Structure 1
């Protein structure tokens, strides 16, 4: 979706070309709507999933003509909301969810957001009346599954689902603060955008723009509940509740007017989604597993156990020998950079799956909700092992580690312990920590940042400090940063690049609030065991033969590839990056990697930044 408000006629005439930069997100239909006042134009590219008829066309105008909506995503409880709205007198022409979202806004105004269970970003233009001014309302879902970029300049405002669709004249040069965060985290978080003049609407936020005076405000409309676990509740009751919530989350996400499948890795998250899908469906569920023959990444055997147990219509999709060559195919899609190299296999998985179904369910979100990351058990073990050490010892060790060159074995591990074991996910990074950024960035960039150099670490520290205990703090940190700004961005880009809709049942709003508000931390992580509650659920629902203890990441061997045939891809990095980098330090990273240091992730981060520079017209100057 895309929109321009308060802009000039010339820009409006070129609008469709900007809209069609999002063709991959919606190849089935396109629409443009212009207001009678001539100051608003809204556009949409449609991926038809619900109500394939003309009744689902967007932009969509309500019966009175006052409100017009463009909507990206799905509201899964639209059937229940439709019944409630019909009881209040609303009449519907089609059978899709966009019409329900628009009617909900007409009925409840901005308060409608709390009623939506889904993934969404949308905009509603209200032409106003004699007593209220014309406004544009924008909103984004709780977890941040669907993106929304906003640019403002003078009296003009533009918004779009991707940065590439924001008109050039509203985009500035690279933002020093966003670049600093990208180098530290591997993604650009929160409201920051890699280009000045553009911002992202953060997850669970809404915004309002008044056309009469240009006033613009944003606010958070939802936040994670405070952990208030009742220790007297038997764990069996918690498992019962988790099972019921998961079953209903999956049931809602099977609603579709096109074929739906489940991405099945054979891991705990995806296997539980398959179990719930089989529970909800009267016919065999389509499941898809990616095969890596002869590779340690191959999970087809585990997936086969689950598929056979639930009688699914199972498909093994053989993946060609992976390499960085796939980056050439994905390159045109890169605008705001993301350093997560698992974007590449995620894209290949989406590309293979979309040949069979148009909608797929995945297992994203389970680690954050149930305590599944290895960081958590490592931190617990380190706390038990090093808990006797005073804080000053951790800070001293981190300082000594920082004096080592990036890529030296053990450097990241020691640097991450700056704030103690539980804050390792705050201070640790596989990319560029503060010491490495001081080496890499030019003096004028460091002067421009000043005290803000540490902003990425302080951003995560702020999230960490919202927790009630170490486990709660670690899961909230991941939910508030790496999930919405890395993992969900990766999922959205990889799937939308091939016009596949990916749904995440584990990020159902009720499951999120249950896990963060009512599940005690000891039922997530205790000692060296993570996912305790989720494993109990797995023991109840999954075949006994399945190894639910295993944890397989979706990674690629970057270090090896960038020392082999793909090493030439980094040869001209120093000349392609913005002027804020010291070319000698970029070359030192390359040389260190060639000599055995582990700089693959750092070099890939710079490669993705280089791609973004070229695609966004940000050449070195």
Structure 2
């Protein structure tokens, strides 16, 4: 939720946003005005909101592919953070505060994995049952992964009639095709299942999405999310999704990588680790697998967390960004990796500390933005049972690190539950989700479109020589820069759509 209440008697505005950040809240506080909206484009219509790009937000976007925290891509606009509230007093004074914080993790495990799985079963079942309540047709986004499959299991248990399930498949791209796995789950629970078989989506969709997302977003899975939302909306008005399970229960691959790095830190002396980092920066191009992990190995664990899934490193961003813009950024704000490293809480251990950082950044500012904007473009309401308040509290307060992820396993607790409820033919160890065969599509119309857009970018936005080298390297197949090129293309499409500049 995000909402605002005007107190007529006290002439005071109160506003708040939900704990996980499922719904957006933009605002601009000016000497004579306070404006707020669930969409940035509404604020852009106001004469006192200039379309000037925030250099700090721009650097955050290049680093991670999204604009995190309370900053906004436009100067003079802010976002209310998840689990925060604000009050605007008569006279214009605005203050914000956190009304809730992610609970501290448990130190010791006094309950068995099976006992914890029992509680997860009860909490998730209760959350799904509550969110099934609807006076309009409802469906489920089923990827065939463990999160959406468990939501389907709970919905089938709670519903007196077959539930509707939907998935997107990519014929000819087996590594991205969720169809067979979703079908296994659908048949097991007797759902009314619908598949959308999609050829390479038209590149004409990208400017539409750039406009819808308000702030630039570099998550290419926005495309299948939009296509799936469009498919569901043909028959349903509300859908349940599986988002949030990875952040709450240790599902991402980088948690295993970070735990391995923690072990290596205890074995390898600091000078040797720094040498690895130096050699990596000097001889390996960005985009090579393991590059970010090697960079993170040279510093502390919180810096390793900050380098996880980074798109453009600081040296790369310095080359890519106009000199004046980069100088303003360095004078006015923290380096993106320093800011993200400061969020790491070592007392939570690993992977708990990394999961907490993802819950505060990647989840609300990438995943939930993608789901909200792509679904609302189709007038579809998506609900996230995994982000039920009681489930969040349980995951962070009661589940120890040993039941989250280890060097050999991820998402331990949901898998225990999955073995009880899901069909045995379903591979619980696979991790895909609604992803896009972008590298394959880049060899056709998408690659041509990216090149056309980026070749005509204003020199005040990107350094053209750096962009050309990225495209040439990608075309020669030397390094996979697809996500980086998608990032730059979406930024330029957003900038053109809203006529924003520095």
TM-score (norm. length: structure 1): 0.76
1:183 aligns with 2:62: yes
1:175-254 correspondence to structure 2 within 5 Å: 175-211=54-90, 213-254=91-132
Higher RCO, Cα 8 Å, sep 6+: 2
The separation in 2 between residues aligned to 1:146 and 1:140, in whole angstroms, is 7
Q: 2:468 aligns with which of 548, 567, 587?
A: 587
Could you say which residue in structure 1 is the equivalent of 2:11? Answer: 134
Q: 1:605 aligns with which of 474, 487, 495?
A: 487
How big is each residue's C-alpha offset from its partner over 1:194-239, in whole Å with a ceiling of 9 and x where there is no partner? 000100001011111123x111111111111111254222222211
Could you say which residue in structure 1 is the equivalent of 2:391? Answer: 511
8 Å CA contact 1:323–1:561 kept in 2: the answer is no
1:400 aligns with 2:279: yes
1:501-580 correspondence to structure 2 within 5 Å: 501-569=381-449, 570-573=451-454, 575-577=456-458, 579-580=460-461
Could you say which residue in structure 2 is the equivalent of 1:456? Answer: 336
* C-alpha displacement of 1:591: 2.4
How big is each residue's C-alpha offset from its partner over 1:302-333, in whole Å with a ceiling of 9 and x where there is no partner? 22222222222222232234354432443432
8 Å CA contact 2:171–2:199 kept in 1: the answer is no
The separation in 2 between residues aligned to 1:475 and 1:342, in whole angstroms, is 21
Task: Name the CA shift for 1:363/1:467 in 2 (closer, same or farther; >3 Å).
Answer: farther
How big is each residue's C-alpha offset from its partner over 1:125-170, in whole Å with a ceiling of 9 and x where there is no partner? 1111xxxx30111110000000010012221111111111113423
Q: 354-363 or 557-566, which moves further after superposition?
A: 557-566
- Structure 2, unaligned stretches of length 5 or more? none
Could you say which residue in structure 2 is the equivalent of 1:144? Answer: 21
Task: Name the CA shift for 1:298/1:340 in 2 (closer, same or farther; >3 Å).
Answer: same
8 Å CA contact 1:263–1:362 kept in 2: the answer is yes
> What secondary structure does 2:101 align onto?
coil
1:415 aligns with 2:295: yes
Size of the aligned set, in residue pairs, is 496
1:355-366 correspondence to structure 2 within 5 Å: 355-366=234-245
Q: 1:354 aligns with which of 233, 238, 241?
A: 233
The separation in 1 between residues aligned to 2:200 and 2:471, in whole angstroms, is 25
* C-alpha displacement of 1:440: 1.2
Could you say which residue in structure 2 is the equivalent of 1:286? Answer: 164
* C-alpha displacement of 1:423: 4.9
* C-alpha displacement of 1:430: 4.2
RMSD: 2.1
> What secondary structure does 1:275 align onto?
helix
1:388 aligns with 2:257: no
> What secondary structure does 2:67 align onto?
coil
> What secondary structure does 2:348 align onto?
coil
> What secondary structure does 1:419 align onto?
coil
* C-alpha displacement of 1:355: 0.5
The separation in 2 between residues aligned to 1:251 and 1:125, in whole angstroms, is 33
- Structure 1, unaligned stretches of length 5 or more? 1-119
Task: Name the CA shift for 1:430/1:217 in 2 (closer, same or farther; >3 Å).
Answer: closer
8 Å CA contact 2:255–2:354 kept in 1: the answer is yes
Could you say which residue in structure 2 is the equivalent of 1:165? Answer: 42
8 Å CA contact 2:60–2:67 kept in 1: the answer is yes
The separation in 2 between residues aligned to 1:453 and 1:402, in whole angstroms, is 24
How big is each residue's C-alpha offset from its partner over 1:74-123, in whole Å with a ceiling of 9 and x where there is no partner? xxxxxxxxxxxxxxxxxxxxxxxxxxxxxxxxxxxxxxxxxxxxxx0001
> What secondary structure does 1:250 align onto?
helix
